[in-house]
Amino acid sequence: MSIRIHKSGLLDTLQDEGRYGYQHLGVNPGGAMDRIAMHIANALVGNQPNETVLEMHFPAAEILFEETLLIALAGADFSATINGKELPILHPVLISKGSILAFGKRKYGARVYLSVQGGFTADTWLNSTSTNTKVNAGGFHGRALQKNDQLLLNNPGTFSFVFTDHAFEVLPWKAKTAELYTTNSIRFIAGAEFGNLHNQSIVVMKTQVYTISRDSDRMGYRLQAGPLTTLSHQEMISTAVTRGTIQLLPNGQLIILMADHQTTGGYPRMGHVITADLPTLAQMQAGETFQLQEINPEQSEDLFFEQEMNLQQLQNACNFRLQEYLKA
pLDDT in tens, 273-327: 999 999 999 999 999 999 999 999 999 999 999 999 999 999 999 999 998 877 6
Percentage of the chain surpassing pLDDT 90? 87
Q: What is the pLDDT of residue 162?
A: 56
The neighbour count for residue 200, using CB atoms within 10 Å, is: 10
Residue 53 to residues 16, 78, 85, 282, 289: CA-CA distances in angstroms? 6, 17, 23, 16, 28
For residue 328, name the pLDDT band (cuts at 50, 70, 90): very low
Looking at the predicted structure, is the pLDDT value of residue 20 above 80?
yes
* Arithmetic mean of pLDDT, 231-250: 89
Residues 83, 73: Cα–Cα separation, whole Å: 16
Mean pLDDT calculated for residue range 61-70? 94
Please check the confidence at residue 150 and state whether its pLDDT lies above 70.
yes
Domains of the chain with CATH codes: 2-176+309-322 (no CATH), 185-295 (2.40.100.10)
CB count within 10 Å of CB 238 equals 11
Q: How confident is the model at residue 159 (pLDDT cuts 50, 70, 90)?
A: low
Q: What is the pLDDT of residue 284?
A: 96
